[in-house]
Amino acid sequence: MARKPDLRRFPGFLAVTLLCLFLLYAPLVIVAIYSFNDSPSITLWGGVSLRWYEDVFWGLEADKFKRAAINSLTIAAAAATTATVIATMAATAMLRAGQFRGRSFSFGLISLPLMVPEIVTAVATLIFFSAIGFQTGILSILIAHIVFCIPFAYLPIAARMEGIEDVYEQAAQDLYATKWQAFRLILLPLMTPGIVSGFLLAFIISLDDFIITNFVKGAGVETLPTAIFGAVKQGIKPNIMAISTLLLMVSITFVTLSYFAGRMGQNRKSNPTGET
């Protein structure tokens, strides 16, 4: 009977996997639980309440966090939109335009923001703005975000485009569609899941960035992460836990959406799409 054991199974691997998930989720779950703590002390449990959520929305610092949230969402939406457009064009160039000069170099350039350590990008961008005398503010954050959003938007978009054969566009062109019509009416609709997925990932990445934003933000401009960091340096307070829990839920919602967008229309084919 020991002749044919299940070779896929290793004893203890399930336990390690569960441990792994436990390690990943335990801190988040605990912060979420403590955000409902009624006690002003963060370590003692004083019953369940929503008072810290009230504090976030209507408390003294509500204005500050509201402004930061608006900045964060504005920048994320603008950066993700721009990066998605650029990435879609780039993916079309890389996967649909045959060979051209600089094509192999281009992939390296697009993935460069992923390879350069974040702190280096932050420093370089700060020095750049300072050297050209560009006053830091919302715009400087936006520019920096567009740069590092491009590869995150590109990867799911390119993965999707690779999975779509070009026969449809060829057929359209055989029927006298212009290149632009073939792109807009054939390729783009087929690409939608990849584009949505790329946009959402870029959005989340922008929303989450702390290090680069912290370096290039201007006077009086905060995003949620920099505002949270500023507050948390003086101690982890219950209202920070409430904000964190809210942000956590936003992130999870977006990843779930992205996940389903990536799977959309994928049922007929088994191409791996959108899973980075």
Partner 1 sequence: MAGLGPTGGRAARTYAGRGPLLILPAWVIIGIFLVLPILIMATYSFLTKEFRGGVIWEPTLAAYDQFFFDRGLFGDEQPKIEWTYILIFWRSIWQAGLATLLCLLIGFPTAWFIATRPAHSRTVWLFLITVPYWVNLLIRTISMKFLIRDNGPMNQWLLNAGLIDEPIHIINTNLAVQLGLFYSYLPFMVLPIYAAVERYNFALSEAAADLYASRWVTLTQVIIPVVKPGIIAGCILVFVPSLGAFLAPDLLGGAKNFMIGSLIEEQFKGAAGNWPFGAAAAMILLSMVLIVLIVYARNQDRESA
Partner 2 sequence: MKTLKTAASALALSLMASVATAEGKLSIYHWFEYIPQELLDKFAAEYDVEVTLDTYDSNEALLAALKAGKLGQYDVAVPGDYMVEILGNEGMLDTFTDDEMPNKGNILPQWADVSFDPGRKSSIPYQWGSTSFSVNRDVYSGNIQTTDIIFNPPEELKGKINVLDTAGETLTFASLHLGIPQCSTDREQLKALNDLVQNAKANWASFGSDVAKDVLVSGDAAAGMIWNGFGMKAREEGANIEYAYPDQGYIVWMDNVVLLKDAPNRDNALKFMNFLLEPENAAAVTNYARYTAGVAGVEPFLDEALKTAPELNPPAGGNPQFVQACPEEVQKVYDTIWTNLKK
Q: Which 96-135 positions form the footprint of partner 1 (CB under 8 A)?
A: 96-104, 106-107, 109-110, 112-113, 115-121, 123-128, 131
Q: Residue 114 is which amino acid? A: L
Would you tell me how many other CB atoms lie within 10 Å of the CB of residue 56?
A: 23
The entry of partner 2, partner 1, none that residue 54 binds, CB within 5 to 8 Å by partner kind: none
Q: What is the DSSP letter of 136?
A: P
**Number of CB atoms found within 10 A of residue 154's CB:** 26
Residue 95 binds partner 1, judged by CB under 8 A? yes
Contact 42, 237 (CB under 8 A): yes
The reply on whether position 219 binds partner 2 by CB under 8 A is: yes
Amino acid (one-letter) located at 3 = R
**Number of residues binding to partner 1, judged by CB under 8 A:** 105
Q: Does 268 bind partner 1 (CB under 8 A)?
A: no
Q: Does 271 bind partner 1 (CB under 8 A)?
A: no
Please give the size of the binding site for partner 2, defined by CB under 8 A: 27
Which sign does the torsion angle of CA 87, 90, 95, 97 carry?
positive
Q: Which of residues 159-188 bind partner 2 (CB under 8 A)?
A: 188
Nearest to 147 by CA among 231, 218, 72, 206: 206
Q: Is 220 in the site for partner 2 (CB under 8 A)?
A: yes
For residues 80-99, which are near partner 2 according to CB under 8 A?
A: 81
The gap from C-alpha 83 to its chain's centroid, in whole angstroms, comes to 12
Choose among partner 1, partner 2, none what residue 69 binds, the Cβ cut-off being 5 to 8 Å by kind: none
Query: CB within 8 A of 129, min separation 6: which ones?
Result: 136, 140, 216
Binding residue (CB under 8 A) for partner 2 from 38, 61, 118, 166 = 61
> CB-wise, 51 or 107, nearer to partner 2?
51
Could you say which of partner 1, partner 2, none residue 38 binds, taking C-beta under 5 to 8 angstroms by partner kind? none
Contact 71, 138 (CB under 8 A): yes
Binding residues among 33-72 for partner 1 as defined by CB under 8 A? 34, 42-43
Q: CA-to-CA distance for 19 and 24, rounded, in angstroms?
A: 9
Give the other-Cβ count within 10 Å of 32's Cβ: 17
Which tokens hold the place of 178? 């212009």
78 contributes a contact to partner 1 by CB under 8 A: no
**Please, what is the minimum distance in Å from the beta carbon of residue 102 to partner 2?**
28
214: contact with partner 2 by CB under 8 A: no
Distance between start and end Cα atoms, the chain: 41
User: What is the C-alpha separation between 176 and 173, in angstroms, rounded?
Assistant: 5
Site residues for partner 1, window 15-34 (CB under 8 A)?
16-17, 19-21, 23-28, 30-31, 34
> With binding defined as CB under 8 A, does residue 141 bind partner 1?
no
Footprint on this chain of partner 2 (rule: CB under 8 A)? 41, 43, 60-61, 64, 74, 77-78, 81, 126, 129-130, 135-136, 138-139, 188, 218-222, 230, 233-236
